[in-house]
Amino acid sequence: MDGLLPIYKPKGVISKDVSRILQKIIGKNHPIGHVGTLDPLAEGVLAIVLGKATRLQDYLLDSKKTYEFRVELGKHTDSLDADGAVLFEKPIVGFSKNQILEALKELTGAYCQVPPLYSAVKWQGKPLYEYARAGRGDEVPLSELSRRIEIYAAELIDYGDHYVTCRIECSKGAYVRVFAYDLCSKLGNYGNVTFLKRIEAAGVSAGKCLHLNEVNSKEDVLSKLLPMEVLETGLSVLHVSQAVEEKLLQGQKQIVAFPPELNKIGYDTAPSDKDILLAGPSQKLFGIGMVIERQELDEMGLNRIVIKLKRGL
């Protein structure tokens, strides 16, 4: 049972609870993980990786994510969402559609974002939410924990005199709650997220997910399990012969030659710049490899690279 299971997480359930529920179904000794945590308030796509696919988890985390959210204006909470305690409250400052669009434009692009105190980001080995719950949030140097994120697109869906609803596409590490807070700030208001839905993650849309309450058996899992070969890891796939596969699995480095149009290896980058996926003649993935040397094109137009196996699948 190796692959990705797209689950629709309902509101009020934490991501770890989803993994625990599924672990009981597939067996306690079967590897399991999830790609990107969802807040308890959030619903939507939670990509669960099973078996050998857990070894691709870090690559899947790099895929873009798409969210829809609604922010209510007037109150600032400690968690930046409706589940938190209200810290400040003030009358809503009026705004126009053009002001919202301009604010969204300003918040689109790459920049450093400070994570919220109620988050799983760690400081001194502990997640920040533990400091928050213990009333020790003032000990955390949040500004030092800022991370570079990118908002690829931001779209206005709807708005009223006390709310704004948007859709954003973003990189890993981006917090929608912080984006929503920044949006409200640019409009001269406080605000907190009251609705959050992830509609795409790891290349899977919400419409292709199995709802958590629909998973009751291994058969249910298998009915929606996506094989490793179709997962959007962002890695190039290099197909090799049976003999090369066997030698790589034995720990030997191998020279592979092939016409460049047959594989999507980036020859304009450094040979060791990026990992690649390795597949045998059966088309099944068998490992994660690395190009450790590249040779110039010969007169027959063949690329020659030296590869090694970093990790088997």
Active-site residue among 2, 39, 81, 275? 39
Closest C-alpha among 90, 261, 69, 34 to residue 180: 69
Q: Is 70 exceeded by the pLDDT of residue 253?
A: yes
pLDDT at res. 286: 92
Question: From CA 46, how far away is CA 200, in angstroms rounded?
Answer: 9
In this prediction, residues 99-120 reach a mean pLDDT of 94
Share of the chain above pLDDT 70, in %: 92
**pLDDT for the residue numbered 302:** 64
Q: What is the structure's pLDDT at 270?
A: 37
Model-level pTM greater than 0.85? yes
Measure Cα distances from 292 to 47, 275, 295 in Å.
Answer: 32, 10, 10
Active site residue 39: yes
Give the pLDDT mean for 145-154: 95
In angstroms, the first-to-last Cα distance of the chain is: 13
Poorest-pLDDT segment among 208-212, 229-233, 298-302: 298-302
Contact yes or no for 155/167 (Cβ under 8 A): yes
pLDDT digits (tens, 9 = 90+) for 5-58: 999 999 999 899 999 999 999 998 899 999 988 989 999 999 999 999 999 998
Q: Once rounded to an integer, what is the mean pLDDT over residues 194-215?
A: 94
Identify the CA nearest to 118 among candidates 55, 19, 50, 39.
39
Name all domains of the chain by residue range, CATH numbers in brackets: 3-63+203-230 (3.30.2350.10), 65-196 (3.30.2350.10), 236-312 (2.30.130)
* pLDDT greater than 60 at residue 283: yes
Q: What share of the chain is helix, strand, coil (3-state, %, to 5)?
A: 25, 35, 35
Average pLDDT score, the chain:
89
Give percent above pLDDT 90 in the chain.
Answer: 59
Per-residue pLDDT at 204 exceeds 90: yes
Highest mean pLDDT pick, 25-29, 153-157, 229-233, 263-267: 153-157
> How much is the pLDDT for 300?
59
pLDDT at 65: 95
